Amino acid sequence: MNTGVLPPERQSSLRLSDGRTLAWSEWGPTEGLPVLFCTGAAMSGSLGFGASDLAALGSRLIAIDRPGLGASDAHPGKTLASWVEDTRQLLSALGSPRDVTAVGFSQGAPFALALAGRELVKAVAIVSGQDDLAWPALAHRLHPDVAAMVRAARQDPEGFEQSFAGMATADGLWQLILGMSGERDRALYQSEPFGTAYQRCLREGFSQGARGYARDLVNALGPWLVEPERISVKVDLWYGGQDTSTVHSPDFGVSLAARLPNATLTVDSHEGGSILWTRARDILARLESHVSGSTSGKR
C-alpha cells in the first residue's frame, strides 16, 4: 500500500527565547509553501504524510515535535497559547513566510485551530480531528469513557494530567489506537512500512516520559484558545465514514463545521480515520489552493 510515508528528508531544531529547544521534521522543497503539521496524540514529527506528492504540489511539510514530545524540550506550563508563541518563533526563524497553512490530525486539531485563531496561518485542514468535546451539542454523542475524561480534565486538570502521565506508554497507546480502529484503518496501521514508522514516532513521542502527552491531552480537552465561531480563515474538515475512533469527532465534524464561519466538510464513506494518508494529495492540494488561488493545487 503506497501511503507516501517516507523518512524525514531533513530534521532541524531551534533554540527558543526561553532557552528551550523546538524540533521538527521536514519533507518537500525548502522553497515550497510551508504546511505546519500538528500531529496526533503523542506523535513525534517523524511520521509525515503525502511525501511523494509534495514536490509536484510545491509544498513543504513541517512536522513539529510539540514540547515534551520527541526532541523538543518540555514546557512545564504548556498551553495552547504557549504553543502558538513557540510556532511564531519558528516561523520567524524560517523567514516569516506569508502563506503558511496547517494540518491538524486527531488530537492536533485544537493546536492547528489555535494557530488559525491567532492568524499565524492562512488556511487549515482538520483531518480525523478531535472536536471541542465539551461542546454541549456533542454530549449525547460521546462515548461514556470519553465523556468521563472530559469531565475529569475540566474539573481537576493537574490531577488528571498527573494520573494520565503515570499510566500512559507508547505500546499502550498503540494498542489503544488499534483497538479503536475499524477494519479499514487497521489494515493500514498494521501494514509495512507504515506500522513500523507509526510505532517509531510514538516511541519518540514518549522518549521523555508521558508528561508531554498528558499535558497535550489536558490542553485538547480544556477550553480552546479561540472559539471556532471567531476563526475566520478557511478550514477544510476531512473525515472518513468508517472511522470508529471514539476520540475523533463523534459526528464526523458536522457540529464543528457549523461553528466555523468558513468551513468545508468532506466525509468520505469509503475511508476511515487514516484518511490523512490515503487521501493526502487531495488534502494538501485543496489546502494549497486557498493561498495560491489555484484550483489544481499546482503552483
pLDDT digits (tens, 9 = 90+) for 164-193: 999 999 999 999 999 999 999 999 999 999
Q: For each of the chain's 299 residues, which pLDDT tens digit applies?
A: 567 799 999 999 999 999 999 999 999 999 999 999 999 999 999 999 999 999 999 999 999 999 999 999 999 899 999 999 999 999 999 999 999 999 999 999 999 999 999 999 999 999 999 999 999 999 999 999 999 999 999 999 999 999 999 999 999 999 999 999 999 999 999 999 999 999 999 999 999 999 999 999 999 999 999 999 999 999 999 999 999 999 999 999 999 999 999 999 999 999 999 999 999 999 999 999 999 864 343 43
Write out pLDDT tens, residues 252-271: 999 999 999 999 999 999 99
Question: What's the rounded Cα separation, in Å, for the pair 69 and 204?
Answer: 7
Kind of pairing between the strands at 59-64 and 21-27:
antiparallel
Write out pLDDT tens, residues 238-252: 999 999 999 999 999
Question: What's the rounded Cα separation, in Å, for the pair 211 and 275?
Answer: 28
Question: What's the rounded Cα separation, in Å, for the pair 19 and 6?
Answer: 31
- Mark out the alpha helices in the chain (DSSP H runs): 54-57, 80-93, 109-117, 144-155, 157-165, 170-180, 183-189, 194-205, 211-221, 254-259, 275-278, 280-292
- CA distance from start to end of the chain: 28
Model confidence, pTM = 0.96
In single-letter form, the type of residue at position 102 comes to A
pLDDT value at position 113? Answer: 98
Question: What's the rounded Cα separation, in Å, for the pair 292 and 295?
Answer: 9
Kind of pairing between the strands at 10-15 and 21-27:
antiparallel
Q: Which domains does the chain have, with CATH numbers?
A: 10-292 (3.40.50.1820)
